[in-house]
Copies of this chain bind each other. A is one copy, B any other.
């Protein structure tokens, strides 16, 4: 299946999702409405809500419960992006100027808070306490992960476990919320809930590793933001870690991290050097192998679920997460 075929499976549901998301920006205060509208029309792939919708199709499919949860998941994701961009002073995201670059940091912080709140309202509107609790726990996990990442910025003394812990918190936790909540809301048996939760978790790890690879090998056009932005923020991702471990002694990543206050021009030069070194080494291949292992792990137990088009879609989605270019 291509991505378009997977999305076709949930096409009607997705149209309803878009209209729920749109409804969030329908507020009286015109300044706030404009801000919300801009942030919600970001043109993201909606992969997380699609996971909720697909995961809810194995047992008692109930769109009235899945839709608000899928909306909650997407709004939480949007809120974290708005806050991340503000913290990182990122000028551009998905090819468009960021909220902070247009409206300033103060509006970005408040908008993110508002989106978190709306996400929480959608989650509670399922009337299901278990998914509501999962929702708040996931928000805690994500924020804790972002906090740790912030404290670890420009720190070279990080292990593979550090890295996995961080991407587990900041990405895999939300993917696993997406799939687990879909399973719970369709009254899946506990064993199936566990399988879908673990699928989401491992897919999330694979997704983030690929994200971290693309920050080295993607083009700005494909990515919608500058390459090398992780290094610029002092975030040590898997490709950078491998470069520090196996690269030359006069390593641009080491130099960059040990001299975080170097002039902007020198910084850019070091980042470019690091990108070149990664591209011309076996690091990219090694990282893809790690990501593929997680994608395979994600799919391993799917065979225990009822055989239906959603099961095939989840399987194919794992392949697409690896081969994606943006």
Looking at chain A's contact residues, is the secondary structure mostly helix, strand, loop, or mixed? helix
CB distance from A269 to the nearest CB of B (A): 25
Assess the A113–B150 pair: CB atoms within 8 A.
no
Measured in the bound complex, the distance between the Cα atoms of B133 and A113 in whole Å is 16
Identify which of B112, B129, B132, B150 contacts A107 (C-beta below 8 A).
B150
- The 8 Å CB contact of A29, one of B106, B111, B142, B148, is B148
Query: Number of A interface residues, CB 8 Å?
Result: 43
Most B CB within 10 A of own CB, among A35, A143, A148: A143
- With contact pairs A110-B87, A139-B113, A144-B27 given, residues A124 and B133 touching in the complex (Cβ less than 8 Å): yes
A140-B111 contact given A106-B150, A129-B127, A148-B32, CB 8 Å threshold: no
A111 CA / B117 CA spacing, docked (Å): 16
Report A92-150 residues with CB < 8 Å from chain B CB.
105-107, 109-114, 116-118, 120-121, 123-125, 127, 129, 132-133, 135-137, 139-140, 142-144, 146-148, 150
Q: Is A57 in contact with chain B by the CB < 8 A criterion?
A: no
Shortest CB-to-CB span from A247 to chain B, Å, is: 28
Say yes or no: B116 contacts A87, CB within 8 Å: no
- With A114-B140, A116-B139, A120-B120 known as contacts, the answer to whether A151 contacts B32 (CB < 8 A) is yes
Among residues 1 to 59 in chain A, which have CB atoms less than 8 Å away from a CB atom of chain B?
27, 29, 31-32, 35
Instruction: Judge whether A83 is part of the interface by a CB distance below 8 angstroms.
Output: yes
**Which residues of A approach B to under 8 Å, CB–CB?**
27, 29, 31-32, 35, 83, 86-88, 105-107, 109-114, 116-118, 120-121, 123-125, 127, 129, 132-133, 135-137, 139-140, 142-144, 146-148, 150-151
A-B contact pairs, 5 of them (CB 8 A): A86-B109, A110-B147, A113-B116, A114-B140, A114-B147
